[in-house]
Structure 1
Amino acid sequence: MKKFDIDSFFAAVCGFFIVYLFTHHSSIGVSPDSVVYTSAARNLYYHGKLEAYNHMPLVDFPVLYPLFLSLSLFIARLDPVVTGGIINGLLFASVIYMCGHIMKQIMRPRLVKWALLLGLMLSPALLDIYTMLWSETLFIALSVVFILVTGWYFKQPSIARVMVVAICAGLACLTRYAGVTFIFTGCFLIFFHLPLRSKKRITHCIVFGLTSSAFFIGNLIRNAIITGTFTGNREKSTTSFFTNLYYYGKVLYYWLPFMKNSEVLVSVFAIVFLVTAIAIIIWRIRTNYNHESYQNIAMVFGIVYILFIVITASISRYETINNRLLIPAYAPLLLVTVYAFGRLSFKLMFFRKTLTIVMLSAAFLLFIASQALESYGMYREYNTWGIPGYTDDGWRNSPITQYLKQHPQVLNKPAAIYSNAHEAAYFTANVAAESLPHTVDKEDVETFLTADGHYLLWYGHIDDPDLVNTSFIRQHKNLTEVYSTSDGAIYWCTNKK
């Protein structure tokens, strides 16, 4: 039996309490996506239906994360918004422990392992995610489990072990649609595992591909049966491949906070890093050099994931590529980077021992210090104003929110309610509103314009250029003010004759 990893456990416990401290002021952060996840989990628990707050079937997102939140509600008998800090703290702790466990197996020096543990524990990029009620929190944990079980499979390849890897990949597909990157990564690694005979490689690859994709395909078929679409309505991308590469570089700039005022340099470095990593993967395949090692699995997954996001963002419209979209690649690539520098330091130490120790220690301290300062700044902001989202002080103390909570009868007519922040209306004031249409969706705009006699709940501090605005609405409808505050208004809308 392997010795218990006390270092990783201690770091994991610290990670849990860091998330707890970050979410202490206003509870877990809640965004529009969080509202969908939470409402689906509530509806599943209380009504047995996997529907969002607007009674629409859940198709824009896969089903596993709402199921996960519903399970937490069943166990704790408390709403996910209440227990979100504990849930995310446990997930964050599991990521830290598993990454430390991997590093312990591939690098003996504790100093190198602690470099990784501190890099994860104090990462503003990860804390930005684990302070929010988002599916990425579970997805990241599954990515590290995937690295572990894939390495376990390569130690003694068998059908039973490849099935375990496939189930992990399938669960990732049910957490986020980007989970298909697990399937791509697994098929790639198994197919190019040259020590296995060709027949066995192909058999294992087919078994893995069919088993893992069954989860994904099953979810798509469910969506198609319910709504006639596989993943909900998706708009065509408005950004090119090279523009998305630039945004990927900006995310890396955020991941390396010590490189302030060097955005162009980091963008170039981001592309160089991507090309270099791909070249290393190709070289390892050709030479069969440590192909099945944890660090190689982590690198392949990280690169496949980044390429998938950049390419698909050039086809289908996402939010601008940001930390949230790319964060699943962070822990695997940090693990690879720390391992690479650890190996390099021990190779160079025989030639320039003192210089090597000084330079690498300085680089490590600079990185950790910058991470800690960035995270401390986040902590001060979160514990002053709350985590940005619908649980922060701005939303909780909003005059329009307070009025709606105290005067629900203001929306007393049996009519539709439209809003430029319908998720906020549901979460903060328990108002079931529909979203204003997107300007590019002409059919939805026409439906809205023909609707006669409805409420408009307008939040003045929300600026979403994708939605029709009040100027456009006033051109086509009569707006009668029902009530207004400093940050919003309620209108009764009728069509102009």
Structure 2
Amino acid sequence: MELPRYIKHLDTFVFAIAGYVAIYLFTKYSGVGISPDSIMYASTAESIYKYGNFTTFNGTPLTYFPVFYPAFLSAIFIFSDSAVAAAPVVNGLMFTALILLCGWLISKFRYPSRLYKWLMLAGILLSPALLEVYSYLWSETLFILLTVMFIWAFKRYQQKPGLQTLLIAGLTASLCCLTRYAGLAVVLTGGLLIILDNKLAVRTKLTHLITFSVAGISLLVINIIANSIATGLATGERKPSVTSFAQNLHHFGIVLCDWLGLTHEAHPYGAAIVIIILVGLIAVIIKNIVKQRLADYETLFAAFALIYSLFILIIASISRFEQLSSRLLSPAFIPMLIGCTACVPGTITSMAAKKGAWMVLPAIAIMLGFLYNILLIDLKRYDDEFEYGVPGYTDDDWNKSAFVQFLQTHKSIYEPGVPIYSDADEAVYFFTGMRARLVPHRYFKNDIVQFHRRKRFYLVWFKALAHPELIGLEDIKKFKKLKKLYELEDGAVYEYRE
């Protein structure tokens, strides 16, 4: 007798509720973590709600990121005065939805196993990468959920390959692109799976491929055209990468070692671990194609993990952005975890029928060891943040900063009309609501020239920050005779008057 649906998925609900509690605990002390990107998102969301435009805190249109995540955040203002204040609840609900969706999809695998589902959901719930992402106001929170929704939507298309299901999958992929530019990996994944589908006639395959691709990039193309009209830049000002493919592969490997709970001694072998996992994902996809299982959820997870990983590695070797980190790679965590382990239940079932049920024990032991390692990482992080806050502009280093309190209570020290520069323009806005300009990056030579031509400005300098890509205080003093107006232990305010 089949159990009722609400009983059948009760275990998934338990994990989902635990996910919400976990985000609540990590953000309980001082709220959600805030980084410079977070302030960009939150300020744009407020502009969307109040003024109907996509203007950031510095008065320029949002181009460096796509617009869907700030648009999503703007809906928060219907219920709250602050996206930052409401973010712990919103992130907790998104993490809950992510666990619910993953649990439901896992139960639809070719070889459904309740024990396997428990282990996978525990891995998602305890993942340091995901707990970090959902503790911050970052677009990855929405992007990861949308990528898993895409896998569900594309599976529906594969089951019933018609125009309606194809457009639903394409629209989902398009929302991924409109959330993060890396959503192009979702479109590439869908396109690859359509090409590999031997059940489609050649003409139908070509039609579906074109239709899906156009639908998948449609919203992003509109966003890029709007950016180009507004600023002349399609995706913001970007520079060529300064890291090679081999270096990015090494950085990727370090992230994987951290995900697996390995010690620093494993970091030199990180690149080899990445290669082994990517080759394994390719083998899984080829095996499922041979066995005509292209439409299985297991194949979809493996395909996205492979395409997203390769996409990030290649883009990081072409375009300059921050070093590959757990945050940037976090959308690959769930697909990689499932893609590398989905074959285990079927293999164990087959082997157990021949050699006995004890064959399941080694696989369980390995997974339990992995869960134990990442649980220790989570507990250490929680211990660090329980009375300190999530690292960023809401932690105690900032909340209890004398310089920040000074800036908040001395907004009248600046003469109107005189520009304010800072090494953390987003911090000035976040804590005071005032607009400042970021000092130039070292590699934007024209910006440095324009800055040196300034005849008068204020400079708000945070001493604790270290931005090697920005010109430093000493660099400025070589060309400008700064007058120190106020100085505290962690910052100072200067004025330059020619």
User: CA offsets per residue over residues 28-57 of structure 1, 9 Å max, x none?
Assistant: 111000000000011111222210011100
1:228 equivalent to 2:209? Answer no
Structure 2 distance, partners of 1:45, 1:382, is 32
Do the aligned partners of 2:112 and 2:345 also contact (CA within 8 Å) in 1?
A: no
- Structure 1 residues 289-328: aligned runs within 5 Å: 289-328=292-331
> C-alpha separation between the residues in 2 aligned to 1:383 and 1:323?
21
Partner of residue 221 from structure 2, selected from 194, 217, 221: 217
CA–CA separation in structure 1 for the residues paired with 2:64 and 2:285 = 34
Secondary structure of the corresponding residue to residue 385 of structure 1? coil
Which whole-Å CA distance do the structure 2 matches of 1:112 and 1:63 have between them?
Answer: 37
Asked if 1 retains the 8 angstrom alpha-carbon contact of 2:305 and 2:339, the reply is: no
Aligned to 2:17: 13
Q: Distance in 2 between matches of 1:62 and 1:262?
A: 36
Aligned to 1:447, the other structure's residue is in SS state helix
Percent identity, please: 35
| 8 Å CA contact retained: 1:53, 1:426 | yes
2:459 corresponds to which letter in structure 1? L
1:265 is displaced (CA, Å) by 3.1
Deviation at 1:236, TM superposition (A): 0.8
- Is 1:37 aligned with 2:55? no
Change (3 A) 1:249 1:466: same
> In the alignment, is the contact (CA less than 8 A) between 1:404 and 1:410 conserved in 2?
no
- Residue 362 (structure 1) shift: 1.7
1:258–1:367 Cα contact (<8 Å) kept: no
For the residues of structure 1 that align with 2:264 and 2:10, how far apart are their CA atoms? 35
**AA at the equivalent of 2:456:** G
Q: Partner residue of 1:49? A: 53
Normalised by the length of structure 1, the TM-score is: 0.96
Whichever residue aligns with residue 437 of structure 1, its letter is P
- Give secondary structure in 2 for the equivalent of 1:105: coil
Q: CA 1:475/1:258 → structure 2, altered by over 3 Å: closer, same or farther?
A: closer
Task: Write the deviation string for residues 84-142 of structure 1: whole angstroms up to 9, x where unpaired.
Answer: 00110111111111111111111422111000110011111100100000000000000
Aligned 1:252-271 pairs, distance under 5 A: 252-258=256-262, 261-271=265-275
**What secondary structure sits across from 2:49 in the alignment?**
helix
What's the secondary structure of 1:261's corresponding residue? helix
CA shift in 2, pair 1:38/1:268, >3 Å: same
Distance 1:78 1:356 in 2: 56
Contact persistence 1:305–1:329 (CA under 8 A): yes
Matched, 1:489 2:492: yes
Find the aligned partners of 1:87 and 1:411 in 2 and give their Cα distance: 37
The match for 2:183 is 179
Instruction: Give the TM-score, by structure 2 length.
Output: 0.96
Q: 1:394: which partner in 2?
A: 397
**Whole-angstrom CA distance in 1 between matches of 2:304 and 2:364:** 28
User: Letter of the aligned partner of 1:453 in structure 2?
Assistant: R
- Cα distance in 1 for residues equivalent to 2:481 and 2:262: 53
Query: What whole-Å deviation, never above 9, does each CA across 1:384-406 have from its counterpart, x for those lacking one?
Result: 21000101111111111000111
Asked whether the 8 Å contact 2:281–2:339 carries over to 1, the reply is no
- Determine if the alignment matches structure 1 residue 247 to structure 2 residue 248: no
Structure 2 counterpart of 1:361, one-letter code? I
SS for the counterpart of 2:461 is strand
1:161-216 alpha-carbon deviations (Å, 9 max, x no partner): 00000000011111001111111111111121111222211111111111111111
Match of 1:104 among 78, 103, 107: 107
In the comparison of the two structures, how many residue pairs are matched? Answer: 493
Asked if 1 retains the 8 angstrom alpha-carbon contact of 2:241 and 2:320, the reply is yes
Aligned counterparts of 2:356 and 2:468: Cα–Cα separation in 1: 57
Q: Which structure 1 residue ranges, 4+ long, deviate > 4 Å from structure 2?
A: none
User: Tell me, what secondary structure is at the counterpart of 2:353?
Assistant: coil
SS at match of 2:398: helix
Instruction: Determine the C-alpha separation between the residues in 2 that align with 1:183 and 1:230.
Output: 19
In the superposition, relative to structure 1, how do residues 43 and 273 fare at CA in structure 2: closer, same or farther (>3 Å)? same
Structure 1 unmatched runs, 5+: none
The amino acid across from 1:66 in the alignment is P
* Aligned-partner Cα distance in 2 for 1:253–1:267: 10
State the distance in 2 between where 1:189 and 1:434 align: 46
Note the residue ranges of structure 2 that are not aligned, 5 or more in a row.
none
Aligned partner of 2:5 in structure 1 is 3
Q: CA deviation at 1:258?
A: 4.2
